[in-house]
Structure formats: C-alpha cells, structure tokens
A and B are shown apart, each in its own frame.
Chain A
Amino acid sequence: MTNPLLKVRGLKIGATIYPPGEKSRDIEIVHGVDFDLAPGKVLGLIGESGAGKSTIGLASMAYGRGGVEITGGSVEVNGRDILHSGLRDVRRLRGAEVTYVSQSAAASFNPAKQIMEQVTEAAIFQNKFSRQDAEARAVELFRKLGLPDPENIGSRYPHQVSGGQLQRCMTALALCPQPDLVVFDEPTTALDVTTQIDVLAAIKEAIRDTGVAALYITHDLAVVAQVSDHIMVLQQGAMVEYGTTDQIINAPKEDYTKALVSVRSITHEEKQPTATPVLQVEGITARYAGTNFDVLKDITVDLHPGQTLAVVGESGSGKSTLARVITGLLPPSAGQITFDGRTLTPDLATRPLEDLRELQMIYQMADTAMNPRQTVGTIIGRPLEFYFGLKGAEKQKRIQELLDEIELGDGFQDRYPAELSGGQKQRVCIARALAAKPKLIICDEVTSALDPLVADGILKLLLNLQKIEDVAYLFITHDLATVRAIADSIAVMYQGNVVRYGPKSEVLSPPFDDYTDLLLSSVPEMKLGWLEEVLEHRKMESAGN
C-alpha cells in the first residue's frame, strides 16, 4: 500500500467556552479521531452541526478557528508532522500542499480585487508557478469547471458573477497551486439545488482530472455519496462509522448511520380537496416599495382545511413574499385573499383580531423568532393571554398542555431560548403558533436551518399536530424531499410565477414542464452514481432537442 497523503492519529481538539456569568472552561470538541487518506482519494466527513467536521477539516491544515486548540494527536501530510512544525513550515504547507474551499464564497472573496488576482495569489506566492503560468492554469481550471467565458471571467470582480459561479471560482482558487489535498467545507450547502448540481459535477470532474485528494465536509449524505470514495460519519466529535461509500449507503452498520441514510422516509397519504378552501389566493400581484418590478405575478392558489400546500422554488422566486402578502405585511397591488369565507383586508393594521388569531406563522430561524429575554412560558403564554384572556393557573395548565403536545414536557417553562437546542427552539415556535388555535399556519422554511434528523422530527410533529388540531399548513420550502414528505398539493414558483400547481400526485408525475423537471432532477438522491445518471439524462435531452 502506498503511504497515505494525510495521516491523522488520535486527533483531539479543545475549545474554551465562556458561559455568561461563569468562569470560562475548556471542553473537548473532538475526542481522538483516526483516519488515513491516500493520494487522489476523496473522503467524505459527515455529521450534524457540532459534530466537529469543519474543525477536523481545518486541523488537517494545522489551523484552529478562534478559541479552538489542537490538544493532542498527530496530523501528518506527506509524512511530515504538521502540528509540531514551526509557523514557517505551516505557511509553506497552506496554499501549496493543502488548500481550502469554504461554504460561503461570497464572504471569502475580497470584493475589491479581481477574481484572477485572488485565484492565482497562492500559486504565485508559494513560487509554484510564474504569474503567466498561474494565469494560464487558472483559465484552464475555469474551463474545466464549466465557467462561462473562461478567458475573461478572471478580470471580473466577485460581485459580477453569480453565487454558483463564485463557488466554482473558489474551487479553481483551491486547485490552482496544484495542491495534494483540498478541504471542501460544505461547498454547495448555501446554493440552490439547481445550482448545487452543476457545482457538484464541476468539483467532481476537477478532482478526477487533477488527481488531487480531498476531504469533503457536508451534512448531506446524498451529496457526499456522489463525490467520495470513503465516508466517515461523525457524531459529537467522535467517529461513529467509517467505510467505503458503497458500504455506508447500502449497508450501514451503526444505528446512527442507518438513521441518516433513511432520513426523509416519512410517507404521507395525499388528502382529497374539500368543498370550500380555507385560504383562497386570487390573482395576487405584489411589488416592494421603491422597486419597479413585480415580485409576485398573478398568483392564484387554494388551500383546503387540514391540508398542506407546499410552495416550492429557488431563492428569489417569491415564496416568502407570498407569505408576507397573506399575513398582511406587504399589501398587494392587485388581487384578493379569502380566508375562511371572509375577504382579508390587504393591510395588517386593519385586520380584525379574529383573522390575526386564525392565521399564524412559524419562521425559518427559531433563534430570531423568539425574544431572547422572554422565557418559554412567556413566549407561549402571551397568545393565550392576548387572544383568550387566560390568566394564572389556567394559563399555566394550557402552557403545559402545549409543551406536552410538542413533546417537550416539564421544566421548560422557565428556560430562556438560549438554553434550548435548535430543534427545541423550533418546537417552542410551533407551540406559540398552536396556542392561538389557528386555522392556518404559514411555515416559512421551518426545517431548512436544522440538521436532517432534527428536521425529520419536526416534520413528523407537524403532521401529527395537523391530525389532532385539523390545521392547514402553507409550507414554504426549497427542499423537494420535504415536500414529498408532507404536502397534499404543491405550487412550484419560478421568478414570481406559479409554473405548476395541483395535487401532489399530479405535480410530481410526468409530463413535466422544463423548470419542474430541472428542479426535481436536481435533488440529490441517496444512491451511488446518481449524479452521473442525471447528467447523462440531461445530455441526452439536450442532444435530442
């Protein structure tokens, strides 16, 4: 066997935390991780947030983020121990032998410099290439990564290319100095699915063509399955399972891995529409003040009581704006909304309390949706007090009932949001919405900020509550897997238009319009070779046209 390129043994990483009001203390966030990476191979690191994926990735370039310290173990690159070598050696390593691709390319590029200058900087600084050679190499990489106009794109500034293109530029940046190892830290997480697939394909091809080894960090098992040779599953800083991609996907051994593989396996029977919809949106057109284009164009959808309408689309398609119009935060320029047989006034301020009560909302970021200075009891108790005038023991009892309903139980009433986990926070937000006994809850990307297993729990809870409370959901999401799991009807939005709308079974079965086809085929599937299949399929289609 050849010598491994990257050899990690007993890696321990610690951090100092500063709990408010208490003395700072040291905690261990990675508890002794071992792995090898052979030249030219790709290892996927997968786990939930807080699993230590990124920390391990950065440790392979001998770097610890602010407050993080590598406390034990060894990391060898090309046979050299990089943790105990001096800063001068580490500097020669970074940007030459090991390079890094971060999640947010937009935040990583210097907006004041041209792309070419930044892409070639490390290669020139490390004396790997002359300026001329480095630029020629960069153009070659731009071409390989499928960027438009590869000869000239380097002279643009970061804001002049799209998010997906910038992410590919960053991959070019990482590959330009001809490194032995690239650390990809969630390179496609911030992108729309339709963009993600292109970037993913470009990264995969570039890895294959340049023969570089890679650490691919992500929380999405379906994505990592497309690019890696081996996968390491991490949970809370410890390794759970390590194996070939094939074994992890098709024959996982550990329970935790099994759960990750089978995530989103919720099945939901589609309900038949009833006679009278609870919400009728008719011909809504809306624009933001001070702009000259319509964000929503003549939207018409219905939602039936106790059912779920999923509104799907990429960022910028107008999904959230539709929610703002329905809630009355943005009065529409045309059209009308009927809710429970009554016509809703366009402006929030003029709506009767009854309308406000029956139409509740849950947000994407549970962190900012709860006042950090109010306890869970106050947060859930306020709608009870406000709409129903409940007080004292009666209110306490109802709060506890609601907490039981969202499966949190005793001892949560006096906690502050900062003392809850991400999933618990979202549950409290659900309880706050339920407290008003609404007929309709608008769920705006409620699971997108959560880890897959936690998101699964939230979706199951929502479905359960729908059965008990008979509440309708308007479910806004960009994630088609979520849609499959919970929707009764679907509206696909694209650039402010509803391009496809109907019951789930119809929307998700052919014949598709172009956009829905693109969207559906871009959702990563948990199987090997999915990426190739899709690309092959698209090639054939475009050849056929």
Chain B
Amino acid sequence: MRIPLAALIGLFFTGLFFAMAIFAPLIAPYGMAEVVGDVWEPPSDQFLLGTDSIGRDLLSRIIYGGQTTIFIATAATALSFIIGSVLGFFAAVSGGWVDQSISRFVDLIMSIPTLIFALVVLSVMPTTITILIVLMGLLDSTRVYRLARAVAVDITVMDYVEAARLRGEKIGWIIFRETLPNALSPLVAEIGLRFIFAVLFVSTLSFLGLGVQPPQADWGGIVKENKEGINYGISAALYPAYAIAVLCISINLVADWVLNRTTSLKGGRG
C-alpha cells in the first residue's frame, strides 16, 4: 500500500502533536507555570522560542498547552460522535415521530449560534475542563447528528436493511451491524473535521477568556496572554497560532486520505 505524500505529511505532524501532548512532562524543558526568565525574551539557546508575557518558557507553555487543547478537543469530539451518531442512526432507523421530534429539537439548538450559546452557558456555569468538554460535545453533536441521520436514511432504504427487518432483527443489530459499517467512511472523515472545529472552538473560548483558565496553558490562552506583544514586534503570540494551523491542516490531510481509502465497496479493505 502506498501512502500519498500529503497524507504522510499530515500523519507526521498529527503524530508529532499527539506524542508531544502525551509525553508533555518529559519533553518540556521547564515547568508549565514556572517563571524562568525576563518578560518576552527573544528566542535563544536557553529558551528556544523565547519567554512569554510574565517570563515563562514559551516552548514549555506550548507543549503543555497542546496537551490541554488536544485533550479537550479529543474528548469533546468523541462525546459529540457518540451522542450524535447514535441519535442520528436511531432517528433514521425508527423514522416517524421519533425522527421528527429529535430532528426538530436539534434544529432548535442549531438555530442558536454556537459561540453565543457557549458564552451564555459558560458565563453562568463554572469554567472547568469537564464542563467545557460536555458543552462542546453537546453542541457539536447536533452537526454529527445531521450527518449521521442523512447518511443512515440513505442506507435504511436499502433492501438489505429491509431484509434484516423482515428477519425480525432488533434495532441494535440494524444500527450497529447493517447501518454503521456502511456509514463509516463519511463519519470517519467527519471526525477529522469536527476535531479541527473543536480545536478552533476551544481556542476561541480561551482567547475570549471563557475557556481554559490561567495558569493552565492552552493554545488559545497563550495567544491571548501574548497578544499585546505584537504591538512591540514580539512574535510570542504567533507560535501557538502556528501550532493550531499546522494541527488543523495536517488532520485535514489525514481525513482526506482516510475518506479516499474507505469509499470502496470492498468491505472497506481496499
């Protein structure tokens, strides 16, 4: 099997970021909240990316920040997929009023802009990582629901699903054995996209001060902490932004490749 170059690049950076997130304490040269130098020192041998607005090592902040961002995004994506796809398949397979009521409720949630919804909720709830994950997962699951339901509706009209119904199969078999395997490739590609949106969303919230709270590092928060530096020609705020961009692009490249690979009718093995 030959992996295309774009996917290789994507895989390399995705792997790198995830490895950095997992082994953050081993890799980071300094502690996360440890003040080790002057304010906004330029990059040097001692501080590879320089220091931040209160003299912490920027590289270490970014590595720990990556851990937080990636963890929140991964957990939120997983939650949104579990909720969204199970509900979506359930609605498509059940049809009738079940489908109608779930779908209209999802429409209702989707009619409120996500960011505003999140801001309102976070302003009354305590901003902990758990709440962030649950909130993002629930909000994103509406998008996943839409996709899963659309894909599943196409599948449930196939004769093999009818054959399973005539056989007397329970709804669990129809969802997990007949529908899910055939809906997998669009969903897998969607996982990539939703993960990217989750990264961007949590970064946005942190940038606005409603996401991850200091002193804990996360990429959006680091941009916020260092944004004043840009006025003085200090590039500290740009590094976490680069990290966000590189992660998003590389995951997209991987998702594209996965989608290409799985859209064959050969049991997805091709």
Contact = CB atoms under 8 A, between A and B. Distances in A.
A20 B270 contact: yes
A373 B182 contact: yes
A259 interface: no
A284 B56 CA distance: 81
B167 A375 contact: no
A306 to B, nearest CB: 22
Contacts of B182: 371-373
Interface stretch (B16-24, B129-137, B157-165, B197-205): B157-165
Nearest to A361: B166
A370 B267 contact: no
Contacts of A329: 162, 165-166
Interface in B144-180: 158-160, 162-163, 165-169, 177-178
A19 interface: yes
Interface in A15-71: 19-22
Contacts of A21: 1, 261, 264, 266, 269-270
A417 B182 CA distance: 13
B264 A20 contact: yes
B265 A372 contact: yes
Contacts of A264: none
B270 A375 contact: no
B270 A19 contact: yes
Contact of B159 (A360, A369, A383): A369
Given A371-B182, A373-B181, A356 B166 contact: yes
A327 interface: yes
Interface string A351-395: 101001101110101001111111100000011001000000000
B266 A382 contact: no
A20 B266 contact: yes
Nearest to B158: A368
Nearest to B181: A373
Nearest to B267: A416
Nearest to B180: A373
Contact of B265 (A328, A348, A383, A418): A418
A374 B168 CA distance: 18
A357 B168 CA distance: 8
A19 B1 CA distance: 13
B268 interface: yes
Contact of B267 (A19, A22, A356, A375): A375
Interface residues of B, number: 23
Contact of B160 (A353, A357, A371, A375): A371
A419 interface: yes
A432 B162 CA distance: 14
B165 A348 contact: yes
A365 to B, nearest CB: 6
Contacts of B265: 20, 372, 416-418
A357 B163 CA distance: 12
Contacts of B266: 20-21, 416, 418-419
Contacts of B267: 372-375, 416, 418
Given A371-B181, A371-B182, A373-B181, A383 B270 contact: no
Interface in B252-270: 261, 264-270
Interface in B178-209: 178, 181-182
A363 B163 contact: yes
A296 B159 CA distance: 22
Contacts of A417: 265
Interface in A317-335: 327-329
Nearest to B1: A21
Contact of B166 (A20, A348, A371): A348
Nearest to B269: A21
A393 B269 CA distance: 26
Contacts of A432: 163
A369 B165 contact: no
A540 B42 CA distance: 104
B166 A368 contact: no
Contact of B167 (A373, A383, A419): A383
Nearest to A436: B167
B236 to A, nearest CB: 46
Contacts of A361: 163, 166
Nearest to A370: B160
A369 B264 contact: no
Contacts of A328: 166
B163 A369 contact: yes
A419 B267 CA distance: 10
A303 B167 CA distance: 22
A372 to B, nearest CB: 5
B56 to A, nearest CB: 49
Nearest to B268: A373
Nearest to A429: B163
Nearest to A21: B270
Contact of B168 (A353, A372, A373): A353
A368 B182 CA distance: 12
| Residue from B159, B162, B169, B178 with most neighbouring chain A CB atoms (10 Å) | B159
B167 A382 contact: yes
Contacts of A359: 166
Contacts of A383: 167
Interface string A288-331: 00000000000000000000000000000000000000011100
A395 to B, nearest CB: 16
Interface in B80-132: none
A300 to B, nearest CB: 23
B159 A386 contact: no
A365 B159 contact: yes
B166 A386 contact: no
A397 B1 CA distance: 35
A459 to B, nearest CB: 20
Contacts of A20: 264-266, 270
B96 to A, nearest CB: 10
Contact of A356 (B160, B167, B264): B167
Given A20-B264, A21-B270, A363 B168 contact: no
Nearest to A352: B168
B146 to A, nearest CB: 23
A327 B167 CA distance: 10
B172 to A, nearest CB: 13
Given A373-B267, A416-B266, A368 B160 contact: yes
| Residue from A329, A371, A416 with most neighbouring chain B CB atoms (10 Å) | A371
Nearest to A23: B2
A432 B165 CA distance: 14
Closest A-B pairs by Cβ, 5 of them: A20-B270, A20-B264, A21-B270, A373-B181, A369-B159
5 contacts: A348-B166, A359-B166, A360-B166, A371-B178, A375-B267
Interface of B: 1, 158-160, 162-163, 165-169, 177-178, 181-182, 261, 264-270
Interface of A: 19-22, 327-329, 348, 351, 353, 356-357, 359-361, 363, 365, 368-375, 382-383, 386, 416-419, 432, 436
Given A329-B162, A356-B167, A369-B159, 15 more contacts: A20-B265, A20-B270, A21-B1, A328-B166, A356-B168, A357-B168, A363-B163, A368-B158, A370-B160, A371-B181, A371-B182, A374-B267, A386-B167, A386-B169, A436-B167
